[in-house]
Structure 1
Amino acid sequence: MNKQFSLAYLTVLGCPPDEMIEIAARAGYDFVSLRPIYMGLPGEPNYSLSDNPDLMKKTKKALSDTGVKLLDIELARIYDGLDPKRYLPAMESAAELGGRHVLSSIWTDDRNFAIESFAELCDLAKPLGLTVELEFVPIASVSTLAGVLDVLHTVKRDNAGVMLDMHHFHRSQDKVEDLDAVPREWFRFLHLCDAPAEIPTSKEEMTHILREARLYVGEGGIDVASIVNRIPEIPCSIELPNTQRSKELGYAEFARQCLVTAKEYFAKHPREEQDTLDKKKLVEV
C-alpha cells in the first residue's frame, strides 16, 4: 500500500485554507490538515470557516477542483474553563467538507476536568462522523503516550484515538515497543517530521524547535521508520514548521520539499524491511 500524505497547517503557517489546498495539490499531497479553530495566538490569522462564509466557499471549491481531501482539523485544546461546545461550529464545517478527524491535546492539570471535557468533545464529534485523536505534546499537561492511553482507557469512546507526532514521541522518550500495547484501531493518522537527536533541557528551546525549527524527515536524529513501521499503515500528515526555510523557499516550494524528502526517506526504509528486522530481533531474543 502506498503511503498517503497530508499537508499540515503549521508547515505553511499563515497560509489561507484555499491557497493551502492548491499548494498541496500541486506538490502531490493526498490531503490537507486545516486549522479552522482560531486560537488567538499573536499574529495568527483567523481562518474560522464557520465565521467566514466566503472563505468556506473558497475552501470547498478548492477541495472540489483539486481532488485533495480534508484529513483533519485542529486544534481542539482541552484547557481550564473550556466549554467543548466551542468547537462544534468548526467540527460541523469539517464534516461538511468531508473531513475525518479532529486533533486534540490537553493543557490542564485537572485530570477530572480533562477527562470530562475530552469525553464531551468525542460525543459532540460522533454524530458528525468524526473521530477525535488525542496528541501528547512535551510542553502540554498530557506529555507522554502513557498519559494519552490513560485518558482513552478512561473515556471509553469508540471514536477516540491517539495521534503520534514524531517530534513529540522522541522528546517524551517513549519506546517503540510501547506502541504494541495500543489497540490498532486507535491509530488513524500521524504527524511526520524530524528533529535533532539531542533533547533540549529547557522548555524555551524545546518550544522553539517544536514551533519553528523542525527538520525534513531523515535529516535529523529521530528514528522515524522504527516508529511509523511499528503501527498500522495510516496517512502521514507532514507537520514540519521551519520558519527560516518557509521564508526562503516560499510556501509552495517548502511544502514540495517536505513531501519529496519524506518519500525519499520511506523509499529507503520500507515497511517490509522493518518487519523483517523486527522478526529477526525476536528470533535472536
Structure 2
Amino acid sequence: MPPRQLALAALSMLELSPPDMVSCAAAAGFSHVGLRLLPATAEEPQHDMLGNSPLLQETLQRLQDTGLQVSDVEILRLKAELDVASYLPMLESAARLGAREVLVAGNDPDFARCVDSFARLCQLAAPLGLSMNIEPMPWTDIRNIGMAMRLLEQAGQDNAALLVDAIHFDRAGDRPAALATVPCQRLHYMQLCDAPAAKPDSIEQLLYQARAERMPPGHGGLALGELLLALPPDLPISLEVPMHSRAQLSAVERAKLLRSAAERVLQRTYGTALESARA
C-alpha cells in the first residue's frame, strides 16, 4: 500500500478549539490536522484565530509540542458581496500555522463573478505559499466536479486545486470517471468519509447528514474503493467525519476510530488492486 498522509479534519471534532484539536489529533496518532479558522455557519463555535490572538499563539505552541503539522484550513466562501481583501488576515494566520491548503466554497450564483473572485483570492494567497482548493457541494453554486473544473480552468491560477469530498461527490451524482481528466497538479488533498448508500430526499436531510452524521470509512455504502482508485495513490487524505450520534465517545476515541477505519479501507482498496494487477 502506498504511504499516505492522514489528517483529522476540523469538522470531525467541531466542539474542540483549535489547540485542543491539535492535541486530539496527536493523541489519536495522526501526523496532520485540519483547522477551521473561520466558521462555516453562524451557529457553530467561533474562535479568534486571526492576527496575534492568544488562541493562535496557543495553537502554535501545541503544534510545536506535538510535532503535528497543519494540513489545511477552512473555510472561505465566494459570495456575491465578497471583498476578497477581507480574507487576508485569515490567509496570514494560515501561513503562520504552516498550512499550505485552504478550503473554498462557491456561494455565488453568478458564475463569471465567482470565477473572478476565486482568481483574485488565488492571487492574494500566492505570496503566502497557499493554494486555494474549491470544494464542490451539492447545495452550493459550485455543485459538482464539472462546475469546479470549469471554475479552475477559467480562473487560470497555478495555486488553484479541486477538493474531492467523498459524500459530496456521491450526493452530487458524480462518478469516478469524471476524475479521469483532472490533472494531478490540480489535486492537493481529498476528504474521506462514508455514508448510507441511499441519498437523502430533502435538502434539510442532505445538510444534516453532511454536517452532523457521516460514518467512518468502510462503515457505510459509498463506493470508496472506486473513488480512491480514481485519484492519485499518494494523495493526502483528510478524515472529515462528524458523528453527533457518537457523542458518548470522547474526541480522542472518535479520532482513533476514524484513523483505524481509514487504514483498513486503504489496505483493502490497494491490496485488492495489487492482487488484480498480478492476476
Q: Flag whether TM exceeds 0.5 (same fold).
A: yes
Aligned match of 2:67: 67
Q: Does 1:35 align with 2:6?
A: no
Q: Does 1:215 align with 2:254?
A: no
Aligned pairs (5 A) from 1:101-250: 101-232=101-232, 233-245=234-246, 247-250=247-250
CA drift of 1:274 comes to 2.7
> Which stretch of the first structure deviates more once superposed, 78-87 or 58-67?
78-87
Identity in percent: 32
Instruction: Check conservation: 2:138, 2:144, Cα contact below 8 A.
Output: yes
**Is the partner of 2:73 in helix, strand or coil?**
strand
Q: Which stretches of structure 1, 4 residues or more, deviate above 6 A after TM superposition?
A: none
Matched letter for residue 230 of structure 1 = A
Please provide the CA RMSD for this pair: 1.6
1:211-266 Cα distance to aligned partner (Å, 9 max, x none): 11100101111111211121112111000011111x11021111111111111221
| In structure 2, C-alpha distance between the alignment counterparts of 1:26 and 1:229, rounded to whole Å | 30
Instruction: Check conservation: 1:8, 1:238, Cα contact below 8 A.
Output: yes
Ranges in structure 1 where 5+ consecutive residues have no aligned partner: 281-285
Matched letter for residue 166 of structure 1 = A
CA drift of 1:190 comes to 0.5
| In structure 2, C-alpha distance between the alignment counterparts of 1:254 and 1:222, rounded to whole Å | 20
Change (3 A) 1:23 1:115: same
| In structure 2, C-alpha distance between the alignment counterparts of 1:204 and 1:221, rounded to whole Å | 20
**Is the partner of 1:188 in helix, strand or coil?**
strand
Q: Does 1:261 align with 2:261?
A: yes
CA drift of 1:77 comes to 0.8
| In structure 1, C-alpha distance between the alignment counterparts of 2:163 and 2:274, rounded to whole Å | 22
Change (3 A) 1:261 1:117: same
Instruction: Check conservation: 2:51, 2:93, Cα contact below 8 A.
Output: no
CA drift of 1:52 comes to 5.8
Aligned match of 2:13: 12
CA drift of 1:192 comes to 0.7
| TM value normalised by structure 1 | 0.93
| In structure 2, C-alpha distance between the alignment counterparts of 1:41 and 1:275, rounded to whole Å | 46
| In structure 2, C-alpha distance between the alignment counterparts of 1:230 and 1:80, rounded to whole Å | 33
Matched letter for residue 196 of structure 1 = P
**Is the partner of 1:231 in helix, strand or coil?**
coil
1:101-123 Cα distance to aligned partner (Å, 9 max, x none): 11001011111210111111101
**Is the partner of 1:64 in helix, strand or coil?**
helix
Matched letter for residue 16 of structure 1 = S
Instruction: Check conservation: 1:37, 1:87, Cα contact below 8 A.
Output: no
Change (3 A) 1:275 1:48: farther
| TM value normalised by structure 2 | 0.95
| In structure 2, C-alpha distance between the alignment counterparts of 1:242 and 1:138, rounded to whole Å | 20
Aligned match of 1:283: none
Instruction: Check conservation: 1:38, 1:48, Cα contact below 8 A.
Output: no
| In structure 2, C-alpha distance between the alignment counterparts of 1:58 and 1:130, rounded to whole Å | 22
CA drift of 1:187 comes to 0.7
Aligned residues: 277
**Is the partner of 2:201 in helix, strand or coil?**
coil
Matched letter for residue 5 of structure 2 = Q
Aligned match of 2:272: 273
Instruction: Check conservation: 2:79, 2:108, Cα contact below 8 A.
Output: yes
| In structure 2, C-alpha distance between the alignment counterparts of 1:84 and 1:38, rounded to whole Å | 17
CA drift of 1:16 comes to 0.6
